[in-house]
Amino acid sequence: MNPFKLIGQMSSNLRRLLVSDILVRSCEQIPYAFVVVWCMKTIEAPVTALQFGVLTSIEMATAVLVHIPVAYVADRSAKKPFVATTFAFFTLFPLVLLHCRSFEWLVAAFFLRGLKEFGEPTRKALIMELAPDQCKAGMFGLYYLIRDAFVSVAAVGGAFLWQISPEVNFLAAFGFGVLGTMGYLWYGRETGRGLKDRF
């Protein structure tokens, strides 16, 4: 029940994952509220409300289609490559979106956005593997409490960046994603099935 005691039981590997996850999720949240504004108001050929609904459907359908097969494969191999790939998709979306100026290009961008779910089941499984056996549920909750507290600040910061310019907002988001992804590639570790020494 005491989150401060739980923090002391968080392993170094889980802390590394948490820091990377905070940076990558900040990449998502900085432009999150402004994606619809960009698509329907800002670009040279704005989309209609119906077209934006289609884009969202493309994103969701892509996410659903990748969940099960990727989770199946990830259970039989190392988890780090799947998590890192997910982080890379998060990172690329704001950069790709910045260069989209029509519905056709936005279709590709939202397909990419749907691929961010590529390694999400794997990342959640990794959190549970890295959590102590005696407090897995508590550690899972603490992980999300810390992550979302930091990411909510990034979401507010995104509003100030948007007021400077959409380009600043998207590029700042991309920068956070690069830091999180590269940090995880360099420092991230995993456990389970004898793979921890390989990654």
Domain ranges of the chain: 9-187
Residue 198: count other Cβ atoms within 10 Å of its Cβ: 9
pLDDT of res. 191: 64
CA nearest neighbour of 13 among 92, 83, 106 = 83
Judge: domain 9-187, CATH 1.20.1250.20. yes
CA distances, 172 to each of 12, 40, 71, 175 (Å) = 27, 21, 31, 5
Q: Which of the residues in the chain have pLDDT under 70?
A: 1, 191-199
pLDDT of res. 199: 36
pLDDT tens digits along 145-189: 999 999 999 999 999 999 999 999 999 999 999 999 999 999 888
Q: pTM above the 0.85 mark? A: yes
pLDDT of res. 197: 37
Angle between helices 103-114 and 80-98 (to 10 degrees): 160
CA count, 13 A, side-chain hemisphere, 142: 23
